[in-house]
Structure 1
Amino acid sequence: MKKTFSALAVLSLFGLSQAVPLFEGEISAGYIKQKPSGWVQYKGDQVDLKDDLNIGDEDSYFFRAKLEHPVPVLPNVAFQYMKMDFSGTGRITRSFRYGNQVFTVGDTVNSSVKMDHYDITLFYNLPFVGLATAGILDVEFGLNVRVLDFKARVKSSTVDETATATIPVPMLYGSVEISPVSLFSIKAEGRGVAYNGHSYYDLNGELRIKPITIPLAVDFFIGLGYRYERFKIDDIDDISADIKIKQPYVTAGLLF
């Protein structure tokens, strides 16, 4: 049902952009290699993702949609979904307490960490920048709300403990895109917030190549990028964590 709704929403945006030429937007999807590190703590000890849980790198995907309109007062809008689900299996080399359970040296544990996130971004362009640079430079700023679906599970043959939380994270958003020629552009994008011992930073750089252009319709692009996220929380629903994710990726999509 969710996939059907998302597909209809994307098609609606595309149809609207064709009916009203002043609307612009983007639809894209990508493959991403996620490399996590850091630790998680649930009521007990800090547990290292690599050393204690043997959490490995994962291949994943993401989707983006964006719509810009000509009404100056109203913000533009963008949506993003990213799948982030890690797992690991191994024999632990030190005892630790996780939740209400104690895992002892020699236990073989199966672990998983889920951090799927959903973003909605309300943003404005700085039109005078585009005019002053003849369209070479595009600057955006606004507010991003990320809903993080967090789940960290540690399981052995005798004990099983899971920490879960749904965390809404308001973040400041900004991006700069430089398009020296029509064939390619370079885009830098950032989201971030820090308060009361919590922080979340999501930084992204992308080279976009636009080999196919259909006048008055769409541009096809492919992108090569790198994303860095650092997620730090201090005692939310008895969960603390400091997790970093390095993420090279490729993407493809349509600009209309």
Structure 2
Amino acid sequence: MALKHEQDASDRRPRPPHRSVQHALRVLEAVAHHATGITGPELARVTGLPSDQLTGLLHMLRREGYVQQAADGAYVTGETLSRLGSADGNAAALTAKLQRTLDELRDSVGAAVYISRYIDGEVRITQYAAGPEAPAVNEWVDFRVSAHASAVGKSLLGQLDDNGRRDHLSRHKMARLTSRTITSEKVLLSKLATQPATVPVLDIQEYAVGTVCAAVPITAGASVGCLALSLPLNRAHRLHDAATHLNRSAAPVLLSLTI
């Protein structure tokens, strides 16, 4: 009985976005191989995915424009997949798709949202969506030198191996930015090593007084990235729910990056 309870609890735990993306790619591959369309039952048979999981994936793929449903109910390739899969204009299509996704996520979560990548050994914010009701964090210290203090930086460093983390910290001094900033390399490395992949990384006024943040990994292949959000301190009570929403919304972003 105890074993079943543990198994049920495990089934309810959030899955890393890359797992959902792997399944989504399996569905897209099956759809692409059937130019005239493929039905839901056929997709279940070809992909081997449980019906409830497949239903959720198809809902997401339709919403994001990767597949569409023909008049007879069969699934065919959608406009988004055609754009991102084209060699001509792929970069512009990807940027536009990610920006639309970020804008929608900003509005649904009620916070500024960011995509960050670890490029050539540095933390870079590549795209973001903010607004009057969802102000962006004030970058009062360059994000490239404050990875130890920000949710974005800690999420990216957490996806590197130990040597990669130590190399980064050897190039960027762990300065105290607020009274909550971790400045001990040993403590930070220990926290990064024990951070569960399915749990958002949090920054509770470690980078800036008056701001709280959360970040989740969106690693595509060898490229390390994360999806993050920030909230003013007076909305800190919303951070847990917002971070949970962010985690659930990471798969569409990662799927765009993977395609």
Classify the TM-score, shorter chain. Answer: under 0.3
Structure 1 or 2: more helix by fraction: 2
Structure 1 or 2: larger strand share? Answer: 1
Larger radius of gyration: 1
Per the normalisation by structure 1, the TM-score is 0.27
